Amino acid sequence: MKVTMHVNGRQVSGEAEGRTLLSAFLREELGLTGTHIGCDTSQCGACTVHVDGKQVKSCTMFAAEAEGAEVTTIEGMANADGSLSAIQQAFQDYHGLQCGFCTPGMVMAAAALLEEIPQPTEAQIRHHLDGNICRCTGYHNIVKAIQAASGQPVAVAAE
């Protein structure tokens, strides 16, 4: 079937089977490989994108379900002039990544959080990252990056 949606502000169409996951559609049909597939079992959050403004796991939604929807991926997060967005820049500044595999999902999760709670507490940030797994950083620097991106002083309690 033909599926049409708006991805990063642009109308796109592509072929999908019923079983085609949104993650596969974005990567294979549209070539947007910034959305990563870590576990493909709904655990890791590397495939996190926004559908109609809501943070979802694109590996746990069919492409056909996004028909007509507004989808935002990591490719749509930079500023219009190509510079990094505040969240992306904060991840760089605070070393919120090492291997970088989880980073697209982390940035999308962070953006959804700051949309809902512009100045989250550390506990709110950690609670919100429940569905995003990072095996490198131990999360501390990711939490710091999100605090910085929200314009708050960076302070993370040692655990």
Partner 1 sequence: MYNFDFVKPSTVEEAVAALADDEAQPLSGGQTLIPTMKQRLNAPETLVSLLGIEALKGVTVGGDRVTIGAATTHATVAREVAEAYPALAALAGNIGDPAVRNRGTIGGSLANNDPAACYPAAALASGATVVTNRREIPADEYFEGMFATALEEGEIITRVTFPIPEAAAYVKFEQPASRFALAGVFVAKFAGGVRVAITGASEEGVFRWSEAEEALSGNFSAGAVSALSLDADGMMADLHGSAEYRAHLAKVLTGRAVTAAG
The owner of tokens 């429940």 is: 130
Contact 105, 132 (CB under 8 A): yes
What is the 8-class DSSP label of residue 155?
-
* Of 14-22, 30-38, 82-90, 140-148: span binding partner 1 (CB under 8 A): 14-22
Applying the rule CB under 8 A, the residues between 62 and 91 that interact with partner 1 are 62, 64-65, 67
Among 45, 96, 104, 120, binds partner 1 (CB under 8 A): 45
Q: How many residues bind partner 1 (CB under 8 A)?
A: 28
Task: Pick one of 2, 9, 10, 18: the residue that binds partner 1 (CB under 8 A).
Answer: 18
Does 4 bind partner 1 (CB under 8 A)? Our answer is: no
Are 105 and 39 in contact by the 8 Å Cβ rule? The answer is no
Burial class (CB in 10 A: 0-12, 13-18, 19+), 1: exposed
Stretch that binds partner 1, among 27-35, 71-79, 84-92, 129-137 (CB under 8 A): 129-137
End-to-end CA gap in the chain: 50
Contact 148, 140 (CB under 8 A): no
The site for partner 1 (CB under 8 A) is made up of 1, 17-19, 21, 40-43, 45, 48, 54-57, 60-62, 64-65, 67, 109, 112-113, 128, 130-132
